[in-house]
Amino acid sequence: MYFLKRLLLLLPLLLFISFLAFTLVHVAPGGPFDRERRPASPEIERAIKAKYHLDEPVLKQYARYLGLIWEKDAQGNWHHAPASFDISLKYRNHSVTAIIAQGLPVSMSLGLLAFGFALGVGVPVGYFTAVRRGHWEDYAGSFFAILVICVPGLVVAPMLIMLLAIKWRIFPVALWGSPAHAVLPMMALGLYFSGRIARLMREGMLNTMQSEFIVAARAKGLGENAVLLKHAFRLAVLPVVSYSGPLLADLLTGSFVIESIFQIPGLGMQMVNSSLNSDYTMTVALALLYAALLLVMNLLVDFAYVVLDRRVKYE
Amino acid sequence: MSNSPGQRAWRRFLKNQPAVYSAWFLAALVLIVLGWPVALRTISAFGTRGAEFANRHQPDQLSEAQFQPPSARHWFGTDVHGRDLLSRARYGAQVSLLVGIVGAGVSLVIGVLWGAIAGYAGGRVDSVMMRFVDVLYSLPSIIFVIVLITTLEGVSKNWLAGIGAPRLGNSTRLLFLFVGLGAVSWLTMARIVRGQVLSLRQRAFVEASRALGAGPIRILARHIIPNTLGIVIVYLTLTVPAIILYESFLSYLGLGIQPPMASWGSLIAEGADQMNSIRIYWWLIAFPGGLLVTTLLALNFLGDGLRDAWDVRGRG
């Protein structure tokens, strides 16, 4: 019941976010046609603007964006004006959905790979550093975790390319296509998050290992592995689960730095370029996509909490 | 032996070796970054060789020696314009650290005020203010930053042209970075402070102050905000590296520091631009990147150490 209510609340929330994003991008100076060849005359510029209704008040434009405008034509008949959300102002022979449909699969597969990499590295590192607390494995693992948090993709990606692609020629330098192309971007994108996840996992394990039910499980005579893996792990992974929500929303919508260094045609590039180009409809659509992903992911995270930790209840 | 909670926390902090070494490292870095120009000026007074040395280490000094690998003459090598990379990196350190500290300061002011007001007012005001934070969380911050910086730039360009000083544009960029980076980084701070204030305002000493007739502003300023400072400082040390990182990202986009100014991020971005499969100019990325990573490491160790010593968890 609780989750149904949250699901229903998503829609008005997204509507509000779209309104906020829409006004935000329109407030910024400059328009989508500024960086093109200067129009021959002010009349032409005005005509282009009028064609895309950029000369109307922002509120009316927003209504048009959603397709809530009816107009009277020359004959005096009322017509429904088509919704403008699907018209890219920069690439005018492509629709917004077509551009997103092109970039999203790329960003999503790279994002999922990086997410898998981050989990695959971060969870074991966090687990073992906590279990071996105070031993050298802990120091080495914890140092690795904090180190990769401090190395931005901006530094990792060129270094990986220089070593693994240019010097030793193991992987291709850039572009997207074969599985081999995905390895370096996956590592460059996922490394930072593996450090974050390792730290969360370690903290979660340390906290859980002190709780009474673990002491009780040990007292019952359960083996150390059963205690840690079956009982502690389940709760210790919760911080990682709640971090995964926003993380996935972030990763699936692409990363500008990684995409531009490896020349991958994903959404991260679109996100930055559309805001720089004042491609209003594109920017708002991408912001909405991100927000929708984030909200849905957070909902899933809360749902996962109920499954993993039976003590959690939402009314 | 004095034993106030603050002193106990301080002793715990001093036992944390990585954190203490990091603090020394950061202090040394700041000292070198600020002292280097003074040292150069002093050296230039010592004859022609000294003057040549000082001249070679000017961050904007162009030369014929392009893409020199690290050597005794240029410790960090030289860049595409033959500039000494060590001096560039020193200059970049100044900008990166400044942006990190001031940006974190801006986020601190907004976050603390927002969180304190929301938490203290409670009720409807609180829920409206915090829903606003939630909504901002769900907007991609990069879009927000781009809009903010381009807006500020547009406004200031007109204004500077109006007062007849369009050349000031380059240094105002730094100002926009402070504002823009601060404006996207205050959300978590606001949440943490609000959580603190919610519990503080129920305490007896706040109640007593209210009973004595203190107004809300006085209670916030004298009793509540000072009591959140521990957590705020801890979180601040973790915000500085985040902002330095974000600045490097913006510089990479071309939205950050404009040449001939430099930050670590813009130096790395320049290095990444020069990358090709024929020649590897590894020093262009390795040295600014290494400095950036070391500094971020030190800041993170310091923040972790402070957090453990004061025993604050990321509440909020």
Q: What is the pLDDT of residues B121-141, one digit of tens each?
A: 888 898 889 888 888 888 888
Identify the CA nearest to B121 among candidates B109, B129, B132.
B129
Min Cα distance A37 → chain B (Å) is 20
For A276, which residue in chain B has the nearest alpha carbon?
B146
Using pLDDT thresholds of 50, 70 and 90, give the confidence band for residue A315.
low
Structural contact between residues A235 and A204, judged by C-beta atoms closer than 8 angstroms = yes
Set of chain A residues whose Cβ sits within 8 Å of the Cβ of B188 = none
The CA distance from A228 to the nearest CA of chain B, in Å, is 24
Q: Is residue B252 less than 8 Å (CB to CB) from chain A?
A: yes
Task: Reduce the DSSP state of residue B67 to 3 states and report it.
Answer: coil
B138 CB neighbours in chain A (<8 A) are 17, 290-291, 294-295
Q: For the whole model, what pTM was predicted?
A: 0.82
Structure tokens at B220: 């916030």
Q: What is the mean pLDDT of residues A137-154?
A: 87
Judge whether residue A273 has pLDDT over 90.
Answer: no
Rounded mean pLDDT, A281-286: 86
Give A38's pLDDT tier (boundaries 50, 70, 90). low
The pLDDT of residue A128 is above 50: yes
Nearest chain A residue to B145 by CA distance is A275
Write b or e for each residue in B176-195: b if 16 or more Cβ atoms lie within 10 A of its Cβ, otherwise e.
bbbbbbbbbbbbbbbbbbbb
Model pLDDT, residue B315: 37
Contact B293 A166 (CB under 8 A): no
Query: Coil, strand, or helix at residue A95?
Result: strand
Please answer whether residues B293 and A151 qualify as being in contact, where contact means their C-beta atoms are separated by less than 8 angstroms: yes
Q: Do A294 and B137 touch (CB under 8 A)?
A: yes
Q: What mean pLDDT is predicted for residues A4-30?
A: 84
Mutate to test the interface with B, among A154, A210, A277 (most CBs of B within 10 A): A154
pLDDT in the model for residue A21: 85
CB contact under 8 A, A291 and B293: no
Q: Given A21, A30, A159, which is nearest B150 (Cβ)? A: A30
- Distance in angstroms (rounded) separating the CA atoms of residues A9 and A7: 5
What are all long-range contacts of B273-281, with beta carbons under 8 Å and residues at least 24 apart?
Answer: B274/B67, B274/B79, B274/B80, B275/A158, B275/A161, B275/A162, B277/A166, B277/A173, B279/B67, B280/A162, B280/A166, B280/A167, B281/B67, B281/B77
Contact predicate A10/A254, CB 8 Å: no
Per-residue pLDDT tens for B42-65?
877 777 777 777 777 777 776 776
DSSP per-residue letters across A36-92? SSPPSSHHHHHHHHHHTTTTS-HHHHHHHHHT--EEE-TTS-EEEPPP-TTB-SSST
Could you report the per-residue pLDDT of B217-266, keeping only the tens digit for each?
888 888 888 888 777 887 888 888 888 888 888 888 877 777 777 888 88
3-state secondary structure of A22: helix
Is B286 an 8 Å CB contact of chain A? yes
Q: How confident is the model at residue A159 (pLDDT cuts 50, 70, 90)?
A: confident
Euclidean distance between CA atoms B164 and B162, whole angstroms: 5
Report DSSP state, residue B256. Answer: S
Contact A25 B147 (CB under 8 A): yes
Separation in Å, CA of A74 to nearest CA in chain B: 38
**A275 contacts on B by Cβ (under 8 Å):** 142-143, 146-147
Chain A CB contacts of B280 under 8 Å are 162, 166-167
Q: Provide Rg for chain B, Cα atoms.
A: 23
List CB contacts (< 8 A) between B297 and chain A.
Answer: 146-147, 150
pLDDT tens digits for range B170-219: 667 788 888 888 888 888 889 888 888 888 888 888 888 888 888 888 88
Per residue in A203-218, pLDDT (tens digit) is 888 888 888 888 888 8
Residues 190-249 of B with CB under 8 A from A: 241, 245, 248-249
pLDDT band at B311 (very low <50, low <70, confident <90, very high): low
Cα dihedral across residues A126, A129, A130, A131: positive or negative: positive
Contact B256, B239 (CB under 8 A): no
Q: What is the pLDDT of residues B74-121, one digit of tens each?
A: 677 777 776 777 778 888 888 888 888 899 999 999 999 999 999 888
Among the listed residues B200, B41, B190, the one whose alpha carbon sits nearest the alpha carbon of residue B106: B190
Query: Please, which residues 138-197 of chain B have a Cβ atom closer than 8 Å to chain A?
Result: 138-140, 142-144, 146-147, 150-151, 154-155
Residue A193 CA to residue A118 CA, distance in Å, equals 6
Q: Render pLDDT for A247-262 as a digit per residue (tens, 0 to 9).
A: 888 888 888 888 888 8
Nearest CB to A159; choose among B269, B285, B300: B285
- The more confident residue out of B282 and A282 is A282
**Closest Cα to residue B274, out of B59, B67, B65, B63?**
B67
What's the CA gap between A78 and B45, in Å, rounded? 83
Average pLDDT across chain B, whole number: 81
CB contact under 8 A, A152 and B249: yes
> Are the CB atoms for A99 and A282 separated by under 8 Å?
yes
Task: Residue B150: list chain A partners with CB under 8 A.
Answer: 28-30, 276
- Enumerate the residues of chain B whose CB falls inside 8 A of the CB of residue A286: 140, 143
CA distance A15 to A251: 23
Kindly determine whether residue A154 and residue B293, on different chains, have CB atoms separated by under 8 Å. Answer: no
Give the H/E segment covering residue A254: none
Least CB-CB distance to A152: which of B137, B248, B304? B248
Residue B267, pLDDT above cutoff 60: yes
What is the C-alpha to C-alpha distance for residues A30 and B153, in angstroms, rounded to an integer? 11
Kindly tell me if the per-residue pLDDT of B274 is higher than 60: yes
The answer on pLDDT for A239 being more than 90 is: no
Integer Cα distance of B230 and A75 in angstroms: 71
**Contact between residue A43 and residue A50 where contact means Cβ atoms under 8 Å apart:** no
Angle (CA) A310-A311-A314 rounded to 5° is: 95
Q: How far is B71 from chain A (nearest CA, A)?
A: 21
Helix locations, B79-224, DSSP H = 85-121, 123-137, 141-162, 169-184, 187-200, 204-211, 216-219
CB contact under 8 A, A30 and B154: yes
End-to-end CA distance of chain A: 8
ipTM value for the complex: 0.79
Contact by Cβ (8 Å): B183, B148? yes
Chains A and B: how many Cβ contacts under 8 Å?
112
User: How many angstroms away from the CA of B102 is the closest CA of chain A?
Assistant: 20
CB contact under 8 A, B241 and A16: no
> Does B278 lie at the interface with A, CB-CB under 8 angstroms?
no
Integer Cα distance of B264 and B96 in angstroms: 6
- Burial group, residue B21, by CB count within 10 angstroms (0-12, 13-18, 19+): middle
